[in-house]
A and B are shown apart, each in its own frame.
Chain A
Amino acid sequence: MQKRNELPFFVQLWTAILVIPFFGLLREGLISHGSDRSVWIALQDPIIHSIARFTLFQAFLSLLVAGAVGVPLGIWISSAFRTRFRRGFEILLALPMGIPGLVTASAAVAWMGRQGWLTRMGLWPEEWVYSLYTVIAVHGFWNASWIALKVAQKQSSIPLERIEAARVLGANRYQRFLWLDLPELGTELFWASLQVFQLCATSFVIVLLLGGGPPVETLETAIYSKVRLAELDFPGAVACVFLQLGVLAIPGIAGLFYQWRAMLRKSSSEAQWVASSRGISVRTARLGLQFVSAVFLGLLPWFLAFDRQALVKAMAWVMSKEAADSLALSLQLAVGSLLLSGSLTAFLLRAARRLPGRSQPWVIFIALFPSWVSPFILGLGFWLVAERWMDPFADHWQWVILIQAILGVPFLFRALWPVVGSPQLRLMDSAQALGASKFRAFWAVEWPRWKGVVATAGGVYFFGALGDLAAVSFFSGGAFETGVPLPVLVSRMISHYQFDEAQGVLLVLVALGLSSLGVLSGVLTFVGWVVPQGADYLKRRGWRR
């Protein structure tokens, strides 16, 4: 009985956590404090309207750029997804989602800043530097790999027999794409575009650092400036939050419904070589080219942007006391966020898997709900509700962890649900029929499937949390007792034009983030080995039945 009650309780708890900040925002909107500037008046402010229009405009243009690059690349790269290198390609293309905005912005300065490589070579007009163009180019390029990943995953999941049947019936490559691939890609493309749109609309660091200030100002940067930079303007900030929610709500809700429907649909993705009459050398060359494209889109620009001088300064900085404090604090925040977000996701996954069919979509829906809110919306909401216990100017890092964890749930859930939500029941039965306990069957059948996905999703999330500027800067009062988190330190360096130093620190951050992938993978492999061994040992000793 206890087991049955446990899951609905957690689902209710999660819903309550999500409701709290919205309650705070709504209360602020409804209650007038007697001042001249209420939320209602702020909502009629033409300046805020123009910021909202600009947010929509830049997000839409960014999406167009990302789609124009990502869709053709995804289609082209999809054949590589039918090979044994699939996992590598997936990691490469998923990485930019985990690369913190700060790293991306810094790399973009090295490419498209006043002294950037492209600018010096005359390939990026100087009048475009620190403008809407730079913001759109970076948003587009940064998100193209995600669209390419989704397109390639879907395209490669179409069974080869279906493609062959179309060929036998006389369909050429173009007809096959138009009539068979496109209808299947449609759903995937729809929600990948939606995600990119949401990310671009709520983008903070890139707009802040690369936009060059107003008029390149989005609702997200406006919220920040109204509560952190200028004189406190709660009504203005809350009005921006409402408009931000309006911008994201309609496509967001439509997308979430679309998404869980797509998730429930099973798709086969058996990796196999594409039958081709071409020789092995042609296939290898093609695979090599695809790999280079994936590396370029997924990772290379961020590394190419760093020069040797930055590396030297990074090494010098790493030895300092300031570095040790900053590193320790950032690692604490990232590990804390990963643990909390991982636990929340694990409970939600468990609930979604165990609840009957009708309730399952609801759990999926609320698990993915935070994907259309931003750190500032949550931060401001919590602040308005819990101002007695939290002061954003007093370095309450527990709130940073809570907000990062809540925002991490949709990412982790999305990554893990396709694997966790489709258990290999037949294989589990088969293992149990062969004498394995349910526990042992899990480690033999399910864990090998989960391991890679858990390591990748966890690593990418950890990387993102390590370099997230929005949540830490919202709660940073400049006096973190144990140091300054790395992203705040980097943003300070950039604002003081210490670009080499900033890049050096970012190099450390990138190295930490990427190594977390390997470390997590190793830890999970070890867990997969040691747990069944331990269980067997206990069984042999008669301590476990």
Chain B
Amino acid sequence: MTNRQEVGTAGRDSQGGLEVRDLRIHREGFEIRVNLHVRPGQRVALLGRSGCGKTTLLRAIAGLEPVHSGQVCLVGDDVTHLPTERRNLGVVFQDLALFPSLTVEQNLDFGLRVRGVSRKERELRLAPWVERFGLKGREKAALGYLSGGERQRVALIRTWVTKPRVLLLDEPFSALDAVLRADFQQLLMDLLAKDPVPVLWVTHDVSDLDRFATDQVAVRESSDGAIREFLGP
């Protein structure tokens, strides 16, 4: 744990978390309205039926989806009009979105590389994570040689080493079997226990709630389905 500061909390503000104020997202046939505040250490689950706008909300917070009005604040900074690449947040996509043309190591240090971190520094920062997540010796391998669980871990480390101000998880456990799912949740909780960033995650599976969620937000739909609201913890 000597590298705790380097790979974990350094540079992160423990106050503020993620705040979404009066956010409105227009989609064909309906509007999504959001008001929520996720504090550091909170793991808020977004619940709702398929197509209700959970993933759209995550994407809007990440800046990948245009918003009509409202504000997205990270650690007190208004990032609503900031391009995605400058928001400094972490997203683990449902299909992981790993880069097949890069090796495991290149995938892991991608975020650091684009931030201009030197090669030596990158190796130093990644080493403890590679060791801890059981990827030692697989650094030069192509992604095709990794198992599903290993790929999931690569996606998580890749995001985590960039020290994101908030973690957005889009159904991160859906592709895992029960054993891997429990392992992965434990791994995530260990990380978050030492470095409590706000977490917003999408899930369909209520069995994950007891184990992983500290709070939950369920979508409320108007009778005609034209307005879908996510209201806070």
Contact of A161 among B88, B97, B115 (CB under 8 A): B97
Residues of A within 8 A of B42 (CB): none
Interface size class of B (residues with CB under 8 A): 20 to 34
Q: Does A518 contact B (CB under 8 A)?
A: no
- Residue from A162, A166, A169, A170 having most chain B Cβ neighbours under 10 A: A169
Q: Does A530 contact B (CB under 8 A)?
A: no
B95-A169 in contact (CB<8A): no
A170-B64 in contact (CB<8A): no
Whether A183 contacts B110 in the complex (CB less than 8 A), given A168-B90, A169-B162, comes out as no
Whether A164 contacts B84 in the complex (CB less than 8 A), given A171-B110, A171-B114, A183-B102, comes out as yes
A168-B89 in contact (CB<8A): yes
Q: Does A165 contact B (CB under 8 A)?
A: yes
Cβ contacts A175-186/B at 8 Å (1 or 0 each):
100011001100
A180-B62 in contact (CB<8A): no
How distant is B122 from chain A, measured CB to nearest CB, in Å?
A: 13
B93-A164 in contact (CB<8A): yes
Cβ contacts A149-192/B at 8 Å (1 or 0 each):
00000000001011011111111100100011001100000000
Whether A169 contacts B66 in the complex (CB less than 8 A), given A164-B84, A183-B101, comes out as no
Within 8 A of A (CB), among B13-63: 59, 62-63
Residues of B within 8 A of A229 (CB): none
A180-B64 in contact (CB<8A): no
Residues of A within 8 A of B88 (CB): 170
B110-A167 in contact (CB<8A): no
A170-B97 in contact (CB<8A): no
Contact of B114 among A164, A170, A277 (CB under 8 A): A170
Contact of A170 among B86, B95, B99, B102 (CB under 8 A): B86
Q: Is the interface of B mostly helix, strand, loop or mixed?
A: loop
A277-B91 in contact (CB<8A): no
Within 8 A of A (CB), among B96-117: 97-99, 101-102, 110-111, 113-115
Q: Does A276 contact B (CB under 8 A)?
A: yes
How distant is A258 from chain B, measured CB to nearest CB, in Å?
A: 15
Cβ contacts A269-309/B at 8 Å (1 or 0 each):
00000011100000000000000000000000000000000
Whether A169 contacts B101 in the complex (CB less than 8 A), given A179-B113, A275-B64, comes out as no
- Smallest Cβ-Cβ distance to A163: which chain B residue: B97
Residues of B within 8 A of A175 (CB): 114
Contact of A169 among B64, B65, B83, B159 (CB under 8 A): B159
**Which of A's residues lie within 8 Å of B, judged by CB?**
159, 161-162, 164-172, 175, 179-180, 183-184, 275-277
Known pairs A164-B59, A167-B84, A277-B66; list 18 more (Cβ under 8 Å). A162-B97, A164-B62, A164-B97, A165-B97, A165-B99, A166-B114, A168-B62, A168-B89, A169-B85, A169-B114, A169-B158, A170-B162, A179-B110, A179-B113, A179-B114, A180-B99, A275-B65, A275-B66
What are 26 sample pairs from A and B whose C-beta atoms fall under 8 A apart?
A: A161-B95, A161-B97, A164-B59, A164-B64, A164-B91, A165-B91, A165-B97, A165-B98, A165-B99, A167-B84, A168-B85, A168-B87, A168-B90, A168-B91, A168-B159, A169-B110, A169-B162, A170-B115, A171-B85, A180-B99, A180-B101, A180-B102, A275-B64, A275-B65, A275-B66, A276-B66
**Which of B's residues lie within 8 Å of A, judged by CB?**
59, 62-66, 83-91, 93, 95, 97-99, 101-102, 110-111, 113-115, 158-159, 162
